[in-house]
Amino acid sequence: MANQSKSISWEAEEYIIRDHNTWWYIGLFIVGAALGTLAVFIKAWTFLALIILSIITILISTFRPPRKITYSLGKDGLTEGNKLHKYDEFKAFGILKEGSHFSAILIPKKRFNISTKVYFPEGSGEAIVDALGARLPMEEVKLDFLDKIVNFLRI
């Protein structure tokens, strides 16, 4: 219980950098062109605009490097940069390993709130799990459907 009064801090990237080879970009172009052609054929101009914006957003996100964020676990909750996530917003937490990357998933109490995912270095894992475990119950977590799609598409 001594960890409850102690603050634990670490720095991590906001998301995992995924490799994109030439074939990934060619596939993105082919899918975008096929959907764009379909949108023009059925005269769905809003759909065409959505496709174009989606492709641009995906390209921007693949070229933008992840920010380094400072995280800390204190007596009030998880601080992510300047934002405080209070412990009472969450019902549980879980640990997820994606390749060589570890993350803590904070599961919200409210049904339609999104979970908070925080990456951490392996060396800090035990202290982070102990600190979270002192405040929240630990549950087994798995990648949800959207996370599996994002990992498959390497976005």
pTM (two decimals): 0.75
Mark whether 57 and 89 lie in a shared domain: no
Are residues 75 and 128 both part of a single domain? yes
Residues 127 and 82 in one domain: yes
Q: Is the pLDDT of residue 3 over 50?
A: no
Q: What is the pLDDT of residues 25-63, one digit of tens each?
A: 999 999 999 999 999 999 999 999 999 999 999 999 888
Q: Are residues 59 and 84 in the same domain?
A: no
Backbone angles phi, psi at 134, to 5 degrees: -70, -20
DSSP state of 135: T
Six token digits for residue 30: 């082919």
Same domain, 40 and 88: no
Please report, to the nearest 10 degrees, the dihedral formed by the alpha carbons of residues 79, 19, 64, 14 taken in order: 0
| pLDDT attached to residue 1 | 42
CATH code of 136's domain: 2.30.29.30
Q: Say if residue 29 is in the same domain as residue 50.
A: yes
Give alpha helix (H) positions in the chain. Answer: 22-41, 45-63, 125-133, 145-153
As for how many domains the chain has, the answer is: 2
Do 47 and 121 share a structural domain? no
Q: Are residues 30 and 103 in the same domain?
A: no
Confidence of residue 5 (pLDDT cuts 50, 70, 90): low
Residues 65-119 have pLDDT tens digits of 889 999 999 999 999 999 999 999 999 999 998 888 899 999 999 888 888 999 9
Q: How confident is the model at residue 9 (pLDDT cuts 50, 70, 90)?
A: very high
> 103 and 147: one domain?
yes
d(CA 129, CA 118): 12
Question: 37 and 96: one domain?
Answer: no
Report, as an integer, the average pLDDT of 125-142: 93
Judge contact between 130 and 111, C-beta under 8 A.
no
Q: What is the pLDDT of residue 25?
A: 94
Domain extent at residue 120: 2-14+69-153
Q: Are residues 32 and 51 in the same domain?
A: yes
**Partners of residue 95 on adjacent β-strands:** 104
Same domain, 78 and 136: yes
